[in-house]
Amino acid sequence: MNTLECIKRRISVRNFNGKEVEREKLDAICEAGLNAPTAMNSRDITLTVVTGERLNRLNSAMKKSMPSSMHPNFMRDGKFDFVRGCKALIVVSFGTKSVLPEQNTGCVMENMYLAATELGLGACWINQFYDFSSKEVLSILCAEKGSRPYAGLSVGYYYVLPTPKQRDGKVVFLD
């Protein structure tokens, strides 16, 4: 598929089938993220791939640290599931040397989203890391001092690809 087809095909997947994602695919997704542009080329980025038991620990820590009013948004089969059944979460963090880390995060996440789409995987932007400072979460992520998580990309195989929603907006040309 070409780049424009991939962009049009990209969709948020919030229900994964539990199949493990191959390391080669996770490596490719991370490589795409690391090739994203950053403001003033401030490359103070860390991508943390969380799988296995550590993903379960992160889920528990997020439940404890997140306002309970948000818990209903993350319920699956009667249980809190921050990552909606995925087997891999790629967390995007930036350190203190990063210029405009929020904007950089958007570029990194989009590159990873598109790579996941190209590889036949589903993905979903997890934005609850924004401005998140839970010591337990940072410990589970082995975050370096001064590094802060901004977003996560849940990645996995989906049961059925959701139907794309209408994507509205406008384009204005000015001469």
pLDDT of residue 38: 94
* Amino acid code (one letter) for 6: C
pLDDT of residue 130: 60
Residue position matching structure tokens 């009667």: 78
Confidence band (pLDDT; 50, 70, 90) for 58?
Answer: very high
More confident residue, 162 or 171: 171
pLDDT of residue 108: 97
pLDDT of residue 56: 93
Residue 9 has phi, psi (to 5 degrees) of -80, -25
Would you call 48 helix, strand, or coil by DSSP?
Answer: strand
All domains in the chain, ordered by first residue: 3-156 (3.40.109.10)
CB atoms within 10 A of CB 100: 14
pTM (predicted TM-score): 0.92
**Predicted confidence (pLDDT) per residue in 59-116, tens digit:** 999 888 888 888 888 888 889 988 888 999 999 999 989 999 999 999 999 999 999 9
* Amino acid code (one letter) for 175: D
**Predicted confidence (pLDDT) per residue in 112-163, tens digit:** 999 999 999 999 998 876 656 788 888 999 888 888 899 999 999 998 887 8
pLDDT of residue 74: 87
